[in-house]
Structure 1
Amino acid sequence: MATEEELFASVDALLEEEPQLPPPSERARLREAAGITQARLAVALKTSTQTVKNWENGRSEPKEPRLSAYQRLLKGWAAKHSAHPAHPASSATPTPTATPAPASSPQSAPFLEAFSAPAEPEAETTAPMQAPAAPAAPERPAVRRPVTSSRRPVAKKTTQPELDPRFPHGPLAVLDGDGSAYGVNGIVWDCPATTIPQLVEWTLRESGLGAPKLHRNGKESDPLIVLTAAAAVKLGLPERLEGHEQRRSLRLPDDHPVVKQVTRAKWKLTQRGFGPWARIYRPAQAGQRQCVQLAVLSWDALDTRAWPGVTDMEPADIARVLGIYAQRVITPRGSTAVSGLELMTALRPPTRAVQDRATGNWVSGHNPGSLGTEPVDPAPPEATQEHPVVVNSGWEGGFLDEEAYQWARDLDLLTGEEAALPWVVGLDLNTAFLAAASRLMVGLSGPEQVQHPHFDKRIPGAWFVDLSHIELDPRLPSPFTPSGLRPTGPAWYQTHTVAYAQELGHNVRPTEAFLRRETGAYLDPWHDRLRTAYVDTLADLGVTKDLSDTEFLAAMERHKQADPGSAAVLAAIKATVKGGVGKLRERPQGRHYKDGDRWPALERPTWRPDLRAAVISKARVNMHRKMLRMAEFTGLYPLAVLSDCVVYPSPGRSPLDFLPYSTSGKPIPGAFRLGSTPGLAKVEGVREMAWAVDLMEQGLNPARHIKGGDAVLDEGE
């Protein structure tokens, strides 16, 4: 007879064995009896639908912790829907909530109940499988493990974006050198590709990547694969690109082996070639796009100014950060400037399907409110000096100078009372250009030249008018020039600048104008989407709209430390706004360019310097209006302005020491006020008055240096 010690040893040996599962056919029967689809089960177990299919047809078996979780689920279903002879794994009767998790897999219970990501399990073991020649839906790769990371992840509420069922793994993935592809929804799967053509095929056929259209008349976003340095080398790419005169011109030479591989596989590259952001495509077939975008991290695809700290993150965290940006803004398609411009088109597609009255067929037609499909040349004063409409016409009539403020007060105008204040405080307007884009009426048609027009603030355009006679307080910058200096004679101004002169009570009599009669709020959807993205991302960092001003200032002091991932998303959103506006007037690149030649950007319908001028003009006028209200209510005047940053003398280190409030404690309408939404203010920096006076004595702008670094309106890369 066996001893007690021998019996316990036998039982312990059984306990150490892996959980046993019923046969594949029984797994499928139990799931169907419970009324659960394969897709729903895949979501519950943090895996892909194809992996569940593999389990149910015997092509692969789950590994821990999914194994224990899956077994627990099958036991519960078996207790309710038993119809076959008992199986070692399905004869137990406890319900799922009553079955304790095995000691060797402590994560399995919360994994099943709360769907939270457990610690890293072993890889799935997948048997070779033959893909069907023409599958009804693309096959999905087997998921290996949920994501874990050594770095702080982005905020929990943003790590699980709502996914389109056509793109179950989200818009993008980050590929590492070991073949692990990190998705935005917390999964990692194996990518078998060893060449770029194989990677493209895998992405289109198996990855389940992509994003839905942002407008019903638009297009789905192409999947994005981000390559780490190790992944780039594994796929035959150099770790770095060297020897080019400008970063924006970086690309592989046409005779590089990888470029030849792409060509031999009958794929194409865009005219930009294989650079940090490469698009690889084949012509659309049956209306289906075949295009994959690659971003090479070690080739500086993510500019550190727009994506601070992201390239140093783990692949899983890079995927999360880019995934949040893709969910809230757009799947990255290049620099943030490029993405900002692409977002305009994605939200206002140039065409829509219309029915031909003669034939009854559906054809492509103009989408009202969009910029159309053909580029429109600007009026000469709206263009740049090297533009063909200027060079070829011999235009010498001057140009619009609608730029952001760069002004510092003359030191002689600093009063003794102001100089006695101990501090200067810099206020920065949240995404001032974005706020200016709200309900902004712009021209949708080409310019029409008019002599001696009657000024109408409802018509966007360029007006030649003399505003030099308007005299304002010299302690404020002029609202009519970016330098803040009073105009010296007639000049070209955008509609908002002239309208503000009229608002201030002055008569305006233009002698000439270039006007656009067809108008629309083209940028409204762009504004709305970016505004929501900005506010939601600040909320992830603990800066919400319901905070008091004191709470807001405290939250802003610590928001970047709250979560580096969300802080990077916020920086990218702000760069998208400025870069997108700047790219509306992208200048020619390269030392070989000659004035009068057309450059590639001119062939875009979105090369619209008049739109850029309208945004900046309105932003500058908004800034002046707030400064004027501040002077009326507080008697305070700014020392300096740089774009959306204004510096005020202050008796204390906080803006609460000088901002105007009513007797009830509410901010005065029209003046600067604190808050997290676009157009409201936050603190840019605080310095001593002596520091500001010293800079002004040197002819420098305190607003440029109160925080450190330069504020530049990027005109795109």
Structure 2
Amino acid sequence: MSELFDAVDALIASRSPLPPPEERRRLRKAHGLTVEEVAAALKVRRATVSGWESGKTEPRPPERNAYARLLKQLAELYPTPTVTASEQDTAQGDTRPHQPEPTGKRTEEPPPTPESAAAHVPGHTRSRPAAPTAATGATAPHPVPHAARRSSTSFGTKKAAAVHAPVAGTDPHFENGPLAVVDADDGQVLAYCVGGLVLDVPTSSLSALVEWTLKEGKLGQPKLSGPGKDADPLLVLTEAALEHYGLPVALTDEERRTGRLQEDHKVLRQLARADWKLTKRGFGPWARIYRPAQGSERQCVQLCIPSWRALDPRHWGIAGQLPPAELARLLGTYASRVMTPRGSTAVTGLELMTALHPPTHAVRDEATGGFRKADTKNPGSLGEHPVDCAPCEAPDGHPLLKDLPRFHQRTPAEKLFEEAYDWARPLTDDECTKRYLVGIDVNMAFAAGANGLTVGLGAPTHVQQPLFDPKLPGSWLVDLSHVDLSRIKLGKEWADLNGDLLPSPFTPTGERPGGPAWYATPTVAYAVELGYDVRPIEAYVRHDNGRYLDAWYNRLRDAYITTMADLGVPADASPEEFLTAMDGYRDRDPEMAILVSAIKATVKGGIGKLRERPRGEGWKPGQPWRALSRPTWRPDIRAAVISRTRINMHRKLVKHAAFTGQYPTAILSDCAVYAADGPSPLDFLPYRNGKPLPGGWRLGVSPGMVKHEGTQTVLWGEGVREQFQAPELNLARYIKDGQVTNKDNGE
């Protein structure tokens, strides 16, 4: 029996309750303890205690129980200051006129979580079961104290006691943040916002919830660009909230196929009776509910329904299973660093382009003295009307190709085919003597490919036998089969390489082109860079052009680097420090690790959406599909980004080969595999005194730099290829974990 008691004690200790991070810091400082002293007492590193106090990590057994004991004793010595009478009045909804604060700089503490407010205002919680915290494995208390939330009666919101004051400079229209996770319990609805703020939502119907959001919710996000529009508020509905508002927790098989709730559902009829409308996509996992705008005032709310698979687990991991407060933190951080989600990560990536370069802008109307929409498009944008692509840029089935024979297979001379690498070759005898195969992966490769890239903004112009201009974006029909990788120009000098061990830069398969083919400008420009003449046969060029994706790249780059820093991977780390920091970085804060995945998916998905194909629309080849009506349906821009990404990679392959004599054995998209004597990238990357080869591979967190993808043995690689009787099996696909299945091989 004692063993059972010990097991129970251990289980309780593993969930020892802890005050919120800011309270942990306050208690330590109140007793005059340093971080080093606490770390020494608990036998952990200084950085570990700092992580606990910042909220980036949570202690685990056996340290957790000892840390909880320390904080409990300190709390008895230094109790939380009591709430003043005036603060208590405010917490209960004091309606006296608000006194303006003195002007000048104001220092504010980070807003506490609901749990921290509970520590400050005891005795004001309501009972609710605790739920496991996905990020830490700990137990997160759910009771929401009255002083830590804002209660709403009818449509009037009563402010809490200075606990969640808006950050200085925040738009007062959106003081509660960009979004809220709406949950329900025993008939009471709560809206979990960013920063730990919780609002009482006095609504019993979905139409009332939308009304409350627009009138009292103070949710939304300021526009990202001067001529743009503020982001609509986003409501994330939990399963309990769905049940509260009469919506199904899951869609039927038929509804999943159509991507929407049945149009005759009673909740949708209620919305219609209240004069709310839905977009053409209907009421699906990402639904938009609106009324026609009156003047400049938009009336639109977006819904996200995780249990309907709104948060794709391929990109959002377990986000849809997180407790409301944690989900609000995750999505709120994504909103602040990227933008308020508008749908899938792919949809959001595309919407971010438009938000940063709105199609139109306002101009003063001399007749009325007011403002109106300009007659011309906003400079640097794609405009508000779609433009036709060139025939060579059109994917199969496009209306421009409707006159082609039904089973016609387009050749490279008819179709632009700029795609990422999928190339591999057999190992050489020398490589077989090496012990390891080491994979390196380019960080945010497609984002790096978009950086500084000039793309077309308008319709193409068809020209015959043009002179090639590397500064002019477009698609070029040209023969590059004469380019010999055994003899290429590097800068001003010619270099001799083993061209048989390098993939061609002109095809995704790495095979040498056999004749004329269509290429995007970066691909043709690279042939010139390598020292070869090019003579295009014809081209579709875009004289209206610009660096449309620069702002998009900058925002996503900053989001990625900031989030990686949150996970303990700084941008200024040395190669050795970087590799160490990357080891297990996802375990330091699983929620921020999810955010990294979502940011990367936003990049890839946004680029992919530029050439969205028809999906389940009863479409037939030769007919238009919905995406073609968007100004952002631009296959030429997608092709240019992918072309530049592939060329960037090939340029580094060549630099590395010329300097070291080492050649890649396999490449898959943004991952390259090399044979090496050791298991680390530093065993084959030519670093000297911490500095990389100029123009070659460089370890680091920034887009375009590389990280360690994985290491397997050469014996593993040869064994896999022999097992599947595939001497050129692309080992880059499996280098991360070494797992190869028949399904992976197409069997």
TM-score, with structure 1 as normaliser? 0.79
Q: Structure 2 counterpart of 1:377, which letter? A: D
Partner SS for 1:685: strand
- 1:231 counterpart = 2:241: yes
Deviation at 1:119, TM superposition (A): 9.5
Corresponding residue for 1:180?
Answer: 190
Corresponding residue for 1:454?
Answer: 467
Q: Structure 2 counterpart of 1:375, which letter? A: P
CA spacing shift, 1:401–1:541, aligned 2, 3 Å:
same
CA spacing shift, 1:238–1:554, aligned 2, 3 Å:
same
Distance 1:282 1:589 in 2: 28
Distance 1:30 1:283 in 2: 36
Which of 422, 428, 434 is residue 435 of structure 2 equivalent to?
422
Deviation at 1:392, TM superposition (A): 4.6
Corresponding residue for 2:22?
Answer: none
Alignment: residue pair count? 608
- 1:466 counterpart = 2:475: no
Q: Is the 8 A contact 1:144 1:188 kept in 2?
A: no
Corresponding residue for 1:123?
Answer: 146
CA spacing shift, 1:665–1:451, aligned 2, 3 Å:
same
Q: Is the 8 A contact 2:152 2:200 kept in 1?
A: no
Q: Is the 8 A contact 2:292 2:299 kept in 1?
A: yes
Distance 1:245 1:176 in 2: 23
Distance 1:525 1:674 in 2: 24
Corresponding residue for 1:685?
Answer: 710
Partner SS for 2:667: strand
Q: Structure 1 counterpart of 2:669, which letter? A: S
Corresponding residue for 2:334?
Answer: 325
Corresponding residue for 1:625?
Answer: 651
CA spacing shift, 1:505–1:364, aligned 2, 3 Å:
same
- 1:586 counterpart = 2:612: yes
CA spacing shift, 1:528–1:442, aligned 2, 3 Å:
same
- Gapped runs of 5+ residues in structure 1? 1-17, 49-62, 71-116, 132-138, 148-158, 711-717
Of stretches 600-609 and 180-189 in structure 1, the one that deviates more from structure 2 is 180-189
Distance 1:476 1:450 in 2: 33
User: Within 5 Å, which residues of 2 pair with 1:17-56?
Assistant: 21=85, 35=101
Deviation at 1:471, TM superposition (A): 2.3
Which of 341, 354, 357 is residue 348 of structure 1 equivalent to?
357
Corresponding residue for 1:52?
Answer: none
Q: Is the 8 A contact 1:142 1:190 kept in 2?
A: no
- 1:169 counterpart = 2:179: no
Corresponding residue for 1:302?
Answer: 311
- 1:553 counterpart = 2:579: yes
CA spacing shift, 1:558–1:587, aligned 2, 3 Å:
same
- 1:603 counterpart = 2:613: no
Distance 1:619 1:458 in 2: 17
Map Cα deviations across residues 144-203 of structure 1 (whole Å, 9 max, x no partner): 9989xxxxxxxxxxx989743221110001111221211111111211222210110111
Distance 1:559 1:65 in 2: 31
Corresponding residue for 1:655?
Answer: 681
Deviation at 1:665, TM superposition (A): 3.5
Corresponding residue for 2:417?
Answer: 401
Distance 1:489 1:121 in 2: 69
Q: Is the 8 A contact 1:143 1:189 kept in 2?
A: no
CA spacing shift, 1:385–1:546, aligned 2, 3 Å:
same
Partner SS for 2:301: strand
- 1:707 counterpart = 2:732: no
Corresponding residue for 2:386?
Answer: 375
Distance 2:150 2:392 in 1: 65
CA spacing shift, 1:435–1:35, aligned 2, 3 Å:
closer
Which of 189, 194, 208 is residue 218 of structure 2 equivalent to?
208
Distance 1:486 1:587 in 2: 29
Deviation at 1:29, TM superposition (A): 12
Map Cα deviations across residues 63-117 of structure 1 (whole Å, 9 max, x no partner): 97666999xxxxxxxxxxxxxxxxxxxxxxxxxxxxxxxxxxxxxxxxxxxxxx9
Q: Is the 8 A contact 1:387 1:595 kept in 2?
A: yes
Partner SS for 1:298: helix
CA spacing shift, 1:206–1:388, aligned 2, 3 Å:
same
CA spacing shift, 1:367–1:188, aligned 2, 3 Å:
same
Which of 157, 163, 166 is residue 140 of structure 1 equivalent to?
157
Q: Structure 1 counterpart of 2:245, which letter? A: L
Alignment RMSD: 3.3
Distance 1:24 1:638 in 2: 70
Distance 1:44 1:29 in 2: 25
Partner SS for 2:539: strand
- Gapped runs of 5+ residues in structure 2? 1-81, 125-139, 486-498, 741-747
Corresponding residue for 2:230?
Answer: 220
Distance 2:537 2:620 in 1: 33
Q: Is the 8 A contact 1:120 1:146 kept in 2?
A: no
CA spacing shift, 1:458–1:320, aligned 2, 3 Å:
same
User: Within 5 Å, which residues of 2 pair with 1:380-529?
Assistant: 380-392=391-403, 398-409=414-425, 411=426, 414-472=427-485, 473-529=499-555
Of stretches 517-526 and 582-591 in structure 1, the one that deviates more from structure 2 is 582-591
Deviation at 1:661, TM superposition (A): 1.9
Corresponding residue for 2:282?
Answer: 273
Map Cα deviations across residues 231-278 of structure 1 (whole Å, 9 max, x no partner): 11211111111213865x321111011111111110000000000000
CA spacing shift, 1:613–1:309, aligned 2, 3 Å:
same
Q: Is the 8 A contact 1:422 1:650 kept in 2?
A: yes
User: Within 5 Å, which residues of 2 pair with 1:358-373?
Assistant: 362-365=371-374, 366-373=377-384
Of stretches 325-334 and 414-423 in structure 1, the one that deviates more from structure 2 is 414-423
Deviation at 1:215, TM superposition (A): 0.4
Q: Is the 8 A contact 2:150 2:200 kept in 1?
A: no
Distance 2:286 2:400 in 1: 32
Q: Is the 8 A contact 2:255 2:262 kept in 1?
A: no
Q: Structure 1 counterpart of 2:179, which letter? A: L
Deviation at 1:706, TM superposition (A): 1.1
Corresponding residue for 2:268?
Answer: 259
TM-score, with structure 2 as normaliser? 0.76
Partner SS for 1:166: helix
CA spacing shift, 1:435–1:209, aligned 2, 3 Å:
same
CA spacing shift, 1:253–1:141, aligned 2, 3 Å:
farther
Corresponding residue for 2:129?
Answer: none
Deviation at 1:129, TM superposition (A): 5.4
Corresponding residue for 2:19?
Answer: none
Structure with the greater alpha carbon radius of gyration: 1
Map Cα deviations across residues 572-608 of structure 1 (whole Å, 9 max, x no partner): 0000000000000000112721111111100000000
Q: Is the 8 A contact 1:675 1:682 kept in 2?
A: yes
Q: Is the 8 A contact 1:140 1:208 kept in 2?
A: no
Of stretches 235-244 and 352-361 in structure 1, the one that deviates more from structure 2 is 352-361
Map Cα deviations across residues 263-299 of structure 1 (whole Å, 9 max, x no partner): 1110000000000000000011131110000011100
Distance 1:33 1:605 in 2: 49
Q: Is the 8 A contact 1:173 1:225 kept in 2?
A: yes
Q: Is the 8 A contact 2:528 2:534 kept in 1?
A: yes
Distance 1:127 1:161 in 2: 22
Q: Structure 1 counterpart of 2:172, which letter? A: P
Map Cα deviations across residues 366-394 of structure 1 (whole Å, 9 max, x no partner): 21000000000100001111111121577
Q: Is the 8 A contact 2:575 2:690 kept in 1?
A: no
Partner SS for 1:501: helix
Deviation at 1:617, TM superposition (A): 0.1
CA spacing shift, 1:222–1:29, aligned 2, 3 Å:
closer
Distance 1:128 1:541 in 2: 37
Distance 2:614 2:545 in 1: 28
Deviation at 1:45, TM superposition (A): 8.4
Q: Structure 2 counterpart of 1:408, which letter? A: A
Distance 1:34 1:164 in 2: 17
Corresponding residue for 2:559?
Answer: 533
